[in-house]
Structure 1
Amino acid sequence: MPYTPSHKEQTRQRILQAAAKLFCSNGFDRVTLTQIMKKANMTHGAFYAHFAGKSSLYEAAMQFATSHAFWAREDKQTEYKASHLKALVIRYLSWSKSDKEHPSPLEFLVTDAAHKEEKVRQAYQICFDSLVDRLSTILQNRGVTNAKSLAEETVVSLVGTVAIARSIAQPLQKDFLKRAQERIVYRLQNHEHLTHA
């Protein structure tokens, strides 16, 4: 008896969720299809029913991770509050306590951004653009004139901070992340202050 469309979609979602978690933790090159399917508790046959190969899965998994990441979630009720941007920055920099069900790929996959496979680079670019666009929209709605530029600068700071923090000895991480948080929040608030002055 053939599987129903809803069963096929559930299977695909399980594979994507498992792949997103593993790719976000280890990067493209260090993850195997065997590891992904084991985490999804499925067979290789199920994989090839949905994806042509590893790079196609990576592309779809990064889109999945981006669409489920906390910054992509609509929150119109709090978006205009003064504390909203600060809360986004704090949450992003709390990578050790991040949402394990929906990991953010950007800071963990910096090496994938320069990968030899075009699909891998493009998938990373989509993640980056998604966060920049979301932040830029919030800033534009607050009247910041150079919203896109400030959003790009902020995302680069966030991604770079977490990428470096992961390589710093545990006792120093907390202070490093706190200083970065203060710098990034100050820059965002200062631009808003100048815009509304």
Structure 2
Amino acid sequence: MRYSASHKQETRERLLQSSAVSAKKEGFSTVGVDGLMKAIGLSGGAFYSHFSSKDELFGSIVERELSQSLERLGADGEQSRMRLERCLKHYLNMAHLESPETGCALPTLGAEISRADEGVRQQAEEWICRLQQSWARTLGSDSLAWSILSQCVGALVVARMLVSPDIQRQVLKSSHDEIVRQLPTQDVQ
């Protein structure tokens, strides 16, 4: 039985969504093709009608996840200090820390992206630079935008490595407070 093009696209989207959740929760390299397909109720053999390799799937996950992060964190033209502060508050909180599968891909997949092939790393670089440029326009500083982006990702990584929720909260709150202290007092744009 042949499936319609829309059915194939819907299956691909389900596979991307399910694989992204799995990758952010457990790591991409830990799950095989059969496991990824089983999660959406299909056999491993069906995978290759959607992606030529697991590496291609990973590249698609990185692109999808980072484009969503860009959408959430800043490239809609409505960027302001207040909006940036709201993003920081949402990003550096316990709900985000406790739900890696629904959050930003950078803290969860960063190490795997750094070990991926050059094409995946180039794709990640493009999306990260777009986010940094958006924040730089708001902040009036390229270096401050890079610093804040790095601090946010790093704070989440460090907090997730810790066991005690009190210390995790302290890491997130301290990071948030220090970042907000660095922000210009008014919008630059």
Same fold (TM over 0.5): yes
Match of 1:159 in 2: 153
Question: Is contact 1:106–1:128 with CA below 8 Å preserved after alignment?
Answer: no
Q: Judging by fraction of residues, say which structure has more helix.
A: 2
Give me the whole-angstrom Cα distance separating, in 1, the residues matched to 2:9 and 2:154.
35
What count of residue pairs does the alignment treat as equivalent?
184
1:96 equivalenced with 2:97 (yes/no): yes
Task: Assess, with a 3 A threshold, how the Cα gap between structure 1 residues 121 and 26 changes in structure 2: closer, same or farther.
Answer: farther
Question: Is contact 1:65–1:104 with CA below 8 Å preserved after alignment?
Answer: yes
Letter of the 2:121 counterpart:
R
Give me the whole-angstrom Cα distance separating, in 2, the residues matched to 1:122 and 1:34.
28
Task: Assess, with a 3 A threshold, how the Cα gap between structure 1 residues 5 and 128 changes in structure 2: closer, same or farther.
Answer: same
Extract unaligned runs of 5+ from structure 1.
Answer: none
Give me the whole-angstrom Cα distance separating, in 2, the residues matched to 1:31 and 1:119.
21
- CA offset digits 1:25-55 (Å, max 9, x no partner): 2333223222221222222232100101111
TM-score, L = length of structure 1: 0.80
Match of 2:36 in 1: 36
Letter of the 1:45 counterpart:
G
Give me the whole-angstrom Cα distance separating, in 1, the residues matched to 2:45 and 2:91.
36
User: Counterparts in 2 of 1:72-151, with a 5 A limit?
Assistant: 74=76, 76=78, 79-80=79-80, 82-94=81-93, 95-96=96-97, 100-101=101-102, 103-115=103-115, 117-139=117-139, 144=140, 146=141, 148-151=142-145
Match of 1:179 in 2: 174
Give me the whole-angstrom Cα distance separating, in 1, the residues matched to 2:137 and 2:41.
39
Question: Is contact 1:72–1:134 with CA below 8 Å preserved after alignment?
Answer: yes
Question: Is contact 1:18–1:39 with CA below 8 Å preserved after alignment?
Answer: yes
Match of 1:26 in 2: 26
Question: Is contact 1:27–1:109 with CA below 8 Å preserved after alignment?
Answer: yes
Extract unaligned runs of 5+ from structure 2.
Answer: none
Give me the whole-angstrom Cα distance separating, in 2, the residues matched to 1:120 and 1:34.
22
Give me the whole-angstrom Cα distance separating, in 1, the residues matched to 2:127 and 2:59.
10
Give me the whole-angstrom Cα distance separating, in 1, the residues matched to 2:101 and 2:124.
19
Query: Post-superposition shift, 1:160?
Result: 0.7
Task: Assess, with a 3 A threshold, how the Cα gap between structure 1 residues 138 and 6 changes in structure 2: closer, same or farther.
Answer: farther
TM-score, L = length of structure 2: 0.83
Identity %: 27
Match of 1:64 in 2: 64
Give the root-mean-square deviation of aligned CA atoms: 2.6
Query: Post-superposition shift, 1:56?
Result: 0.5
- CA offset digits 1:119-166 (Å, max 9, x no partner): 443344344224323323443xxxx2x2x2221111111111101110
- CA offset digits 1:44-103 (Å, max 9, x no partner): 232100101111000001111122232267373xx34x42111111111122365855x3
